[in-house]
Amino acid sequence: MIRHIPNLVTLLNLLCGSVAVVFAVNGNMKITALFVFLGIFFDFFDGLLARKLKVQSELGLQLDSLADMVTSGLVPGLVMFYLLKLSGPDWMEYGLVSEQFRWDTDHVLPFFGFLITLASAYRLAKFNISSHQSEAFIGLPTPANALLILSLPLIMEYQNNDIMNAIILNKWVLIALTFLSAYLLNCKIQLLALKFKTWNFKDNAARYLLIIMSAVLLILFKFAAIPLIILLYIVISILNK
């Protein structure tokens, strides 16, 4: 029975992701984010439980990636679809395209958001067959990427700053972020894995630094801190290497 406990936690991640999909489709970004955060919480603890209980298995690895594909792959794609739809066809208002093309582009462009979903699937498949990601990640982990994308509607909802809203709802910024997200997921940058084998400061200095600085940024900037934390994560990982 004990060997099934981590898998049950993984299934809770999948359940949270499935519920988040429903709310994302209906445009409720607050509840979507809540269930993604819960899913990522379960995603962190399923692996921790498996290691502590010494019941790691190939089944657990595959199940974990399948759950992540929904919570941290499909949902961010849906959120980017939503944001691209919100951004509107403002760049088409200058008479550069015909009315027919304007209608088609307005309906097609948001689907570029699913490039994040495709890149996430590719990243998770590579992770499953990799033997070099036990101590560090190669490329941005899908949960970190999901937090990055989910932070955008939360910044708009809770901080409601005209300048930040204008940046977030700029179509070109969203398209650039979509491509950047897809690149970071599959790039060959080695990033810290937040796995503590010991609590020794010397062995985990980079991890402690990341946690402390992230907490400070969250206090100062709230949800707007999340993109900064992802950038900090990448910089500290590179310097630590």
Give the pLDDT score at 233: 96
101, burial (CB in 10 Å: exposed 0-12, middle 13-18, buried 19+): exposed
Domain that holds residue 31: 2-240
Beta strand extents in the chain (DSSP E only): 136-138, 190-192
d(C-alpha 41, C-alpha 13), whole Å: 8
* Lookup: tokens for 171: 């179509």
pLDDT score for 89: 61
Q: Average pLDDT, stretch 160-168? A: 92
Q: How far is CA 106 from the centre of its chain?
A: 25
CATH code assigned at 128: 1.20.120
| 76 neighbors 154 (Cβ within 8 angstroms) | no
pLDDT at 198: 65
Nearest Cα neighbor of 38 from 118, 170, 150 is 150
Tens of pLDDT along 102-147? 444 457 889 999 999 999 999 999 988 877 766 688 999 999 999 9
Say whether 122 sits in a helix, a strand or coil.
helix
Most trustworthy range by pLDDT among 48-57, 133-142, 223-232: 223-232
pLDDT at 53: 74
Instruction: Please check the confidence at residue 100 and state whether its pLDDT lies above 50.
Output: no
How many domains is the chain built from? 1
Beta-bridge mates of residue 190:
138
Local confidence band at 95 (pLDDT 50, 70, 90 cut-offs): very low
CB atoms within 10 A of CB 78: 23
**Which of the 8 DSSP states describes residue 89?**
T
Tokens of 168: 């977030």
Q: How far apart are alpha carbons 144 and 175 in whole angstroms? A: 19
Other residues' Cβ atoms within 10 Å of the Cβ of residue 25: 12
Residue 93, helix vs strand vs coil: coil
**CA-based angle 160:109:69, to the nearest 5?**
80
